[in-house]
Structure formats: structure tokens, C-alpha cells
Structure 1
Amino acid sequence: MNCGCAEVVTSGLLDLFDARERMIAAARPVEGHERVALGDAEGRVLADDVAAALDLPGVDNSAMDGYALCLAELCPAGLPVVQRVPAGAGVMHLPGGGCARIFTGAPVPIGADAVVPQEKVSLDAEGRVHVEGEFAEGANIRRRGEESRAGTPLLSAGTRLEAAAIALLASHGIAEVTVRRRVKIALFSTGDELIEPGERRAPGQIFDSNRAMLKALMAHPGVELIDQGVLLDDPLDLHQALGRARDEADLVVCSGGVSVGEEDHVRPAIERLGGIAFHGVGIKPGKPFALGFLGDSLAAGTPLIALPGNPVASLVGWQFLALPLVQGRQGMTPPALQRFPVTAGFSRRGPRGRRELLRVVLDWSDGTPVARLAGGQGSHMLSAASQAHGYLLVDADTDVEEQHAYGYCPAAQFGR
């Protein structure tokens, strides 16, 4: 049943992009770092710049299987094969008037100035090489240091180490790196009605999906999760839990109890131990999102992210607003939102007074992307969110009209 509450226009809401900028501004990196083996560095964030340890490639080498030769010595009679150069061989000298059979990655012999691919070569009855086509000096040769020179910058501090970056470090023989320490995040849900999945459910109780979702989103090598479970709607319990989180964590994330109802006790508990930087963002779903702190100030205390209780609102709040703060605490520069226009494959009355983030799938059957609703758009409906490719971003007081273009944010950009 829809009571129409979602259509009530609330004054004083912070714009989505202003709220995102404020989250980024609040994201001071945690202090401390550690040395880890390269094999354990996936997903961690570099604490220091890394310089190239050597020239790459270390020598001029062949980009393919073929024949290394001096172009000036090509002649109608062909060139005899006088050397064989496999990968891993030392640098050889090419005798004048001959060529070398060479393989990908093998050092180019001194005296050769091109590598001719084997498919462009024919061998006569005497085994002499004849070249088909024209080749320029340096053809198919990877020059020493063309990728990097020893001592030049390789990776910058703040880089999240993923497969390609780890391979780059390994290619320089780097076995250990200095990374920022893990960000300690205290997580809890609030609500007398919440129970753990697997428990026996009584009438009126619901399973805590938010914490399960947020734990999955925080399953990151750069995060140390402190799971505080489900807290009852009790001011004393909340006060004690927030006090523990303030002392143990670098960041606190909670969901539920952040609205303004009589049973929403989270905000008063935060204000007793710290304060609220902002509360309320002009988005649907996700309006009750809040940024607070435990301690003397946002700059000096422990930041706290209060997510809405409705699961899709919580997901949207995490992806668009909470994640960049977490990335900043990890020492990363949060990437800009990717946004590009797509055609709407449906019509829908637009949101009143705030932006709406519709969960959509992209239909490429006609060759260009058309956004279609992934399912029901209620802030409690996880089924559409679980199927969505991303979000159709609809500006406030703007109706969605079929065949018109609207902003689209891909879900893939919201990786952990």
C-alpha cells in the first residue's frame, strides 16, 4: 500500500551532488601503513609512490616470432639463417650478411634493425630467407625502456592495487609494497523488528537484509569490519554501542532509526556523543541519509554514516554517498561519477522536489541502449536492485517520457 508519503516534498534537503562533495571533503585518510608481500596486496592502497626498479623492456626485444635482420643487407638472393635466438637468450651479435631466427621476447641481436614476421618470409630450397613487402627500420622491435626507465614514477600513492598494477610491480621484480592500513568500520543495524537470517520469525519481524548487504559491500581487502549486529531501539543500548564504535573504529556505519519518528533513536544518540553534519538528501530513495560524527567535530572525531532502514534506500546511500568517503579514508581519490545519456523505454511520473534514481536494465536489442525498469521501484523492493544494470537519474519535477534521453549511472562503477 502506498500512502503517498514518498511524494511529500521536504524543504532543506541537500542536493545529491552537493552531498557527495561534502562526503568526499570529510574523507581524511587514516594514519598508519604496513609492508605486505605483493601476493597479499590485491585491493590494498599504496601508501607511497613507487618508482620503476629497472628499464622495461630491459633490452631491445622482438615483438613477434620471425627473423631479425639488417634491412640494408636484403638482396634478391636472400639471407642465410645464421643464428637462433630464443626468449631468455643473451644479447648476441648478428654476423654480417645473415639473419637470425628469433622468437617473441628474445633480445634483438646487435646489428639487426628490424624483425620480419614469419608469415612475411619464405624460405628457398637452400633455406635462405626472402622477405615479402616493405619494412621500416625498427619494425617489430620493442625498444629498451620504451615503457619505463629505472627511477621514473611507476605508481602513485593512493593507487588501489588490482591485477594489472600488481603485474606491473611484479614485472619490476618488486616483491613487497607499503600500503595504508585497513580502515576499521563498525557496522550495526537498528530495529526491534529485526532478526538474523535463519532465525525463527514471529509475526511482525523481518530479516536483517541491510547488514548482510553492507557486509558484502565492505568485503574488501582494505577494510577491517567490526560487526556489532542488530541493536534494539533503546537509547541506552545505542549510546553504549556508539561509544564502543567511536573508540574502536575509523568509521561507523549504521542503518535504520535515522528518520524523525518517535521510535527513531539514532540521531539523538549521535548528538549526545557528537553531532550531525547534515541530514536529508534530495534523492528518492535515500532521503533520510545522514553524515554525523562521534567526538568533538567531524574533522577530529570518528565519522558516522547513518543509512536509511529501507534496503534499497540504504544501497543507494552507500553507492552514491558513503562509498566515496570510505575510499577517501583508504587514501584513494574517489573517482568521478560516470554519467551518460540513454533513451528511456518507459514513461513515468517524475519525482516531486528531489531527484529519483530508478533501477533499470539496459536493452541493447536495437543496437543502442534503452533503459527499462528492472522491476518494482519501492525502496523496500530488493528484487529490482538485484537485477539492475544501473540507475536512471531523473531530475526533480521531471517526468520520464519514452524515447527521451536521461542520465544513466552504471552499477559497475560502484565496485567495492
Structure 2
Amino acid sequence: MNCGCADVVTPGLLDLFDARARMIAAARPVAGRERLTLGNAAGRVLAEEVRALLDMPGVDNSAMDGYALRLSDLAAAPDGLPVAQRLPAGAGVTHLPTGGCARIFTGAPVPRGADAVVPQERVKVDGQGRVHLAGAVAHGANIRWRGEEHRAGDVVLEAGAPLTAAAIALLAGQGIAEVEVHRRLRVALLATGDELIEPGQAWTPGAVYNSNGAMLRALIAGQGCEILDLGIAADRADDLGQCLARARDEADLVVCTGGISVGEEDHVRPVLERLGGIAFHGVAMKPGKPFALGYLGDSLRHGTPLIGLPGNPVASLVGWQWLALPLVQGCQGRTPPPLQRFSVTAGFSRPAPRGRRELLRVVLDWTGGAPVARLAGGQGSHMLGAASQAHGYLIIDADTPVEEGHAYGYCPGAQFLD
């Protein structure tokens, strides 16, 4: 697992955001679709747009428990309005008699002729059962108007939308029972290194547990992908070549961790060049410099893309979140969302990163009322403790020192789980 992540200035590295743009541009949606019931569609990606079958809401309805009335009747009735109707949710559409009001409950259709709903908290009912209102009420108050969210025929979800719980509820509310989705992206996962052993095996001096494999399985599965787990490949070109050939033939995308740098025991690059090619190698980011995008086959466009992640676990995590994830999303048929970034004050000082943009793992301290970024722990590319606790990343430009009290770009970590 010789990743070559030493803090040295390396010429010719690709800018982080240029690399991200190239990853997005390289994505090709997976071929193949299937039709699923909503109950089986969670986490999948829509393959076609979906249009509303109904106006939403379908009728004017009440947003409150209260009383539906005409404002003109209210103004003309100083002694209050009699309750002429009682309308629970599920009732049909009625007509409001002139000079009366309706007891109405949340979700019930507003009777024709009513132009406001008064919450029950603002109403007093006298001994004769007449309703009195304290204060004024605006026209249309507390009425959900028919079609105010969308009309029948409107696009409610675009092709490429992930089917979240809210999206599924939106479709269910339209009476839609089935959707067309992209088939699952099949991702081959491979770790390299003679030193690696799997969790549960007996440890010996010099052995390293394959934390990257466990981490990446969780990350890939979290995106709704099917995983072809190729395990651990030894640091030998022939073993690695056999694994990559299988991945080329059986998967849509390959994620390989370790062995991607330029050391004598780093075999991924030469094997990849023999079986395909490299689109780019080396990104000006810390951690994660040895990141690579390659392909197995004739070209990046027509072959099987390969993501080469560094062997150090935090570098691998950062490479996945910032660079690999948008390619995966694009291959699923999704449009990768733009990165969320805003300014946060640093609660610490730190020397400038040399020649690379540094992504510091931080937590946000809100005790003063405004967020202050504090280091989540050790920032070494092998230190998973800080990565496991971090709320997000403080983005430090190359050759820029961190000064306590100054503001820097912050990127919340939660967005990388979407």
C-alpha cells in the first residue's frame, strides 16, 4: 500500500476542481432499464421524467382545523355566524349557504363560496352556537388552493432524479404505482497490497487490515450500486492483470485502492496502461494526490472506467467523496449536484500546505452562536479517527496559512452521503 503521499511539491498535478469537472464529464449513464413498484424503488434512479396525473392539491382544502366562511358574510353578521355544516377530511365538495359558516378539519374540501378558513384558536362559539372571530382575517387565509403545487401534466420528477423517500411519497400522492428506473450500476472493487489482510484474520507484525475495502463497500452500497467484490490482489502484475480483466468484463465501473503511485511495488498504473489507458493521474489535493482516472478497453468513452484511489485510508475517502462520487452518480444517470460551500471562521492556526489545496477534517463548534471550525483530530492521511468525527472540510488553498479568526471555505460532509 505504497501510496507516495509524502508532503512534497509535485509538478504537473491537476487542480482539484478541474479533476472533479473531468470526472463529471467522463460519466456515461449505464445502459438498461427496469420497471419497479414504488415499494422496491427506494434509492434507485429514474430513467424517464414523470408527469402529474392529478392537480395537487386535487381540490381546495383546509390547512387548519377551524371554520370556513365568506368574508362578506362575516362583515354583515355582527352577532356571529351560525354553523351550517360540519366537514371532516374525506367529505365531498359542498356549497356554503349564504350567511353561515362550516366547521372544517384539516384536509377537508373547502365548500364552494368560502374564501377563508379561520383557525379554531381564533374563534369563540356563543351559547346559541354562533361563531365570533377576534381580529381580521385575510382573503384566502389557510386554504390550500387546487393545483397550487402543480397541475396535471406538469413534470414532477425529472429523469435522473434519485428516488428518495420524499420523491416516492410525491409519486404515491399522484396514484403512481410503478416507475421506470436505470438498472443498478455494477461496481468492481479491488484492493491491492501484499500487506493487506481482511478483518477477522489473525494479525502479524507488518500486516495491515483492509480498512479501505470495508469503507468503500459501505460507500458504494450507500449509492445503491451492485458490488462485485474482487477482494485483495497481490503486488504482482499477473495477479492484478487477471483481476482487472475480470472487472472489465463483468462490471460497469472499477474502483481500485492502493498501488496507484509510482513506486517499484505499485503495479496498477503499468497494468492499466497495458489493458487500457490513463486519462489523468495526480491531483493537487492533500490528502489524495495519487488519485487516477483510467479505463480498461479501447477508450474512456467506450471502455470500462477505472477509479484509482490512494492506499492510505483518509486519502482514499477524500478521493471518493470529492472525485469518484460524481462519476458514480453520472454513471447511474444522475446529475451530480454542485458542491455546497460557504465561509466558516477557523478556530486554529496551521502552516500553509505546499503546492496543493488541503482539505482539513473539521468539526463545527456552535457554542458562540456562530460556527467555528476546529480540527477533528490528527490530519495524517492514515488517521481515520478525525475523518470519522468530522462534520466536513475546511478548504485551504495551496501556500495559504490558516490563521485563527479568519474565514475559509467550508464544505459540509453530509452532502457526500446523498
What is the TM-score with the length of structure 2 in the denominator? 0.97
Q: Secondary structure at the match of 1:6?
A: coil
Residue 68 (structure 1) aligns with: 68
Q: Secondary structure at the match of 2:395?
A: strand
Take 1:357 and 1:78, find their aligned partners in 2: how far apart are those partners?
66
Gaps (5+ residues) in structure 2?
A: none
Amino acid at match of 1:247: D
Within a 5 Å distance, the mapping from 1:3-402 to structure 2 comes to 6-74=6-74, 75-220=77-222, 222-402=224-404
1:221 Cα deviation after fit: 5.8
Superimposed CA distance per residue, residues 42-75 of structure 1 (whole angstroms, 9 cap, x where no aligned partner): 2111110000010111111111111112221221
| 8 A contact 1:45–1:222 mirrored in 2 | no
| 8 A contact 1:181–1:222 mirrored in 2 | no
Quote the sequence identity (%).
74
Superimposed CA distance per residue, residues 277-336 of structure 1 (whole angstroms, 9 cap, x where no aligned partner): 001001111111000000000001000001000001100100000000001001111111
Change (3 A) 1:382 1:408: same
| 8 A contact 1:42–1:221 mirrored in 2 | no
| 8 A contact 1:23–1:325 mirrored in 2 | yes
Take 1:293 and 1:175, find their aligned partners in 2: how far apart are those partners?
39
Change (3 A) 1:16 1:242: same
For structure 1, which segment, 302-311 or 143-152, has the greater mean C-alpha deviation from structure 2 after superposition?
143-152
Take 1:69 and 1:17, find their aligned partners in 2: how far apart are those partners?
58
Take 1:346 and 1:249, find their aligned partners in 2: how far apart are those partners?
45
1:32 Cα deviation after fit: 1.2
Q: Secondary structure at the match of 2:221?
A: coil
1:119 Cα deviation after fit: 1.4
How many residues are matched?
413
1:96 Cα deviation after fit: 2.2
For structure 1, which segment, 117-126 or 260-269, has the greater mean C-alpha deviation from structure 2 after superposition?
117-126
| 8 A contact 1:32–1:180 mirrored in 2 | yes
Amino acid at match of 2:57: P
Take 1:356 and 1:221, find their aligned partners in 2: how far apart are those partners?
26
Alpha-carbon RMSD: 1.3
1:212 Cα deviation after fit: 0.4
Take 1:348 and 1:113, find their aligned partners in 2: how far apart are those partners?
62
Q: Secondary structure at the match of 1:313?
A: helix
Gaps (5+ residues) in structure 1?
A: none
Q: Secondary structure at the match of 2:222?
A: coil
| 8 A contact 1:29–1:328 mirrored in 2 | yes
1:139 Cα deviation after fit: 1.9
